[in-house]
Structure 1
């Protein structure tokens, strides 16, 4: 595929300038790109295949990544996660990533793109493990994309965000599930959370979700895009209502996670 045959890629919150060229994706680079490429290289060399591989910078100064074939799960393919074994697969994939990144040493003076400061800094977390960043290919190959906001965080910080999106834990009538507790237990078991981690996760579920509302609110007050547009479209209300839904059910989440 030649330069003239670039295909714009849409979707996500920040997709301007993202194109496909053959089997590669080109996207605007930033100060965080060297650190992110070092992370992705580490994952690839360690055998983790559920992420794109960095291929450097092109002659237009854009980062170059391998193209991950398939389509994102959200919203049209979310039914793929309906079976418990598929939800468990996602949890195990996240655990595999967290184990693979555990021994990653960032390059000197890394400049991560930190959108929302995390609780903890034990690993470089993805920070956006959600259905809109999970690609499933025709051969049932699963991979997470959009690593540009990877930054210091914790395993549970990533897990709490992933649980919200993949269970899902939602107040919205169209997404609220009567089996949310069972699915939460499935996810925690498949990831391999121990008892102490389960106890820590319960209150973190609400805090992590509410943090997204606060982030959109604060960025909107500063006039920052695309967050101001998302706020205007009602995303802030969604995160706030989901946080309230989660916080009001902490005893339920504790019961299913701890078997009490």
Structure 2
């Protein structure tokens, strides 16, 4: 992975976040602590740029301190999700992302930072298509925070989006599926996968190390246990909405 030759003269502005420590903005870039997954993420982001997908930041390399340098994208991140792009448009953006990653061939020595085991490995997906990772409002809509990208399935990503963007509201989940162009059979599979996706987060908070144990102690475990229970209870209403 190459060294970035740009300037680091601008002041560093901490960006916060619950999971990634040391995340800062420097001018028109974001600097992220690098890890074993960084070369694979860099290769993925380079591929997305090469195939013309604008919904992700450019990866620029490593700075002089060994941090991953990615493009800063101006805009707004809202959580809980409030109207920016419609949920239909979010579904369309997810579809375009998966169409772009379908042709990606990972490096033979790729290491990924995925933290929850997915339901398959059909293609490389984002793994965190959430409202807190969608930048919008300045002429561009883009997914950010790619450190947990890795092999997965389209429905795995969509199940997470159904929880984050639609908050399990049946009409919202239907809009996501409509925007994605999901066929009927896969809509049934999506509804069945949503509770498993939520329980994966519960298990991570219960058994994972840092930062997950800290987040669990701060109340995130109770929150996700509630979401998982809602996901189970919502199945009949979600099926009715998605198959209407």
TM range (shorter): over 0.9
User: TM-score normalised to the size of structure 1?
Assistant: 0.87
Whole-Å separation in 2 of the counterparts to 1:114 and 1:15 = 14
Greater than 4 Å deviation, 4+ residue runs: none
CA offsets 1:152-198 (integer angstroms, 9 cap, x no match): 100000000011010112xxxxxxxxxx2112211111111011111
CA offsets 1:210-253 (integer angstroms, 9 cap, x no match): 1101111011xxxx221112101111111111111111121111
Whole-Å separation in 2 of the counterparts to 1:20 and 1:185 = 36
Whole-Å separation in 2 of the counterparts to 1:216 and 1:24 = 31
Give 1:160's aligned residue: 159
Query: For 2:214, what is the secondary structure of its paired residue?
Result: helix
After superposition, residues 84-95 of structure 1 pair within 5 angstroms as: 86-95=86-95
Note the C-alpha offset of 1:45. Answer: 0.7
After superposition, residues 236-251 of structure 1 pair within 5 angstroms as: 236-251=221-236
After superposition, residues 53-68 of structure 1 pair within 5 angstroms as: 53-68=58-73
Kept after mapping to 1: 8 A contact 2:15/2:25: no
Give 1:218's aligned residue: 207
1:187 alignment partner, one of 176, 195, 203: 176
1:231 alignment partner, one of 216, 219, 232: 216
5+ residue gaps in structure 2?
Answer: 1-5
User: TM-score normalised to the size of structure 2?
Assistant: 0.93
Provide the aligned length of Structure 1 versus Structure 2. 239
Give 2:46's aligned residue: 41
Give 1:143's aligned residue: 142
CA offsets 1:51-73 (integer angstroms, 9 cap, x no match): 11111111111111111112312
Whole-Å separation in 1 of the counterparts to 2:63 and 2:86 = 37
Query: For 1:8, what is the secondary structure of its paired residue?
Result: strand
2:16 alignment partner, one of 1, 11, 16: 11
5+ residue gaps in structure 1?
Answer: 170-179
Give 1:176's aligned residue: none
Kept after mapping to 1: 8 A contact 2:207/2:213: no
Whole-Å separation in 1 of the counterparts to 2:206 and 2:150 = 21
Note the C-alpha offset of 1:4. Answer: 5.1
Whole-Å separation in 1 of the counterparts to 2:35 and 2:10 = 24
RMSD of aligned C-alpha atoms? 1.6
